[in-house]
Amino acid sequence: MPNTGTATPTDASTGPYVRPDVRAFLDFLAAVGGPTMAEAGKEGARAAYQQMRELGELPPRELAVIKDITCPGPAGEIPLRVYDARETREPGLAILFYHGGGFVIGDLETHHALCTEIAAELDLPVIAVDYRLAPEAPFPAAPDDCEAATRWVASNPEALGRTITGLIPMGDSAGGNLAIVVTQALAETPAAVPVVLQVPIYPLSDDKPDHPSFLDFADGFLLTAETMKWFDDAYQAVLGHKRAYPIYGNHAATPPTVLVTAGLDPIRDSGRVYGAELIKAGVETVFLEMKGTIHGFTQVRKAIPSAQTDLHAIFAAVRLLLERTR
């Protein structure tokens, strides 16, 4: 099992609460060792991320539709993957999913099982976006691709075989950041159909370097300070820019939001401050902080069985807000 940074054994008698299955996973990583992502380099890190999915994630769900398509983007065709539990369906909502990985690693395969789970459980089509990665394509390539793909999905029912009436941007980690950025962009300049809900999962929202969680969980909890710096150096985001750090965007027009953080995550507090801004702006918000677990829990549901319960709590919150928007 690869490391995203350095893992150290955890002690139940000191420090923050760590769930037993999370502690077992972290102790396993500490025992296995291996190079960090920064030490492995981009190709090694990308391969390690795939390996983590293969070893730690549940198998994908069977669906009626799983197909790869493309859409035009600012630098060429953008690969997409369409998931649906139904072969055909009436006009309705669709989820746009943006994968995590620090804008440097991750693709359609790393999040394949997760996307099948989302499509099966929420009974909505899911369109996953394979945006360009840094360092080959640094900021703002990722948000540019994700926005272009989302606008295309809103306007091309023939290519999708589905008529989309509303959009739900959703993503984990870097993808959670991108979900917020896309939501803000479409609030500013609407697409062919509206964004009705957003679901950022453990997102980075700001560029504040001294959140307590950055210090408290800098090492030993899967995502580390070293790995985050490596991601940052590759992505080359512009400090204070709303398309990199959406805390600087306009929150007043934000649709209902399911916002998720992890209790043992170095970027936990970045999600918390974003949630506070939403509430100040009067946005209907369900805030879920998953106590005792780590960044990336949605992709290691076999290694951390409690993560499946967390994921289904997210789905329940999505259903709740969708019922309230009808």
Q: Tens digit of pLDDT for each residue in 215-272?
A: 999 999 999 999 999 999 999 999 999 999 999 999 999 999 999 999 999 999 999 9
| The 76-84 sheet, strands edge to edge | 65-73, 76-84, 126-129, 92-98, 164-172, 199-201, 257-262, 285-290
Q: Tens digit of pLDDT for each residue in 156-165?
A: 999 999 999 9
User: CB-side exposure of 291: number of CA atoms within 13 Å?
Assistant: 2
- Give the whole-angstrom CA distance, residue 255 versus residue 182: 12
**Please, what sign has the CA dihedral across residues 226, 137, 103, 241?**
positive
User: Which listed residue (84, 99, 112, 173) is catalytic?
Assistant: 173
What does the DSSP 8-state code read for residue 256? Answer: P
- Give the whole-angstrom CA distance, residue 6 versus residue 147: 34
**Which pLDDT score is estimated for 34?**
85
> Is 111 annotated in the active site?
no
- Give the whole-angstrom CA distance, residue 147 versus residue 185: 8
> Is 295 annotated in the active site?
yes
Q: Tens digit of pLDDT for each residue in 82-114?
A: 999 999 999 999 999 999 999 999 999 999 999
Say what the pTM is: 0.95
**Please, what sign has the CA dihedral across residues 152, 153, 157, 161?**
positive
Q: Tens digit of pLDDT for each residue in 17-33?
A: 999 999 999 999 999 88
**Which pLDDT score is estimated for 13?**
55
User: CB-side exposure of 276: number of CA atoms within 13 Å?
Assistant: 8
Q: Tens digit of pLDDT for each residue in 272-323?
A: 999 999 999 999 999 999 999 999 999 999 999 999 999 999 999 999 999 9
**Which pLDDT score is estimated for 7?**
42
Q: Does domain 20-325 have CATH number 3.40.50.1820?
A: yes
- Band of the pLDDT at 5, cuts 50, 70, 90? very low
Question: Maximum distance among all alpha carbons in the chain?
Answer: 58
User: Which listed residue (172, 265, 269, 310) is catalytic?
Assistant: 265
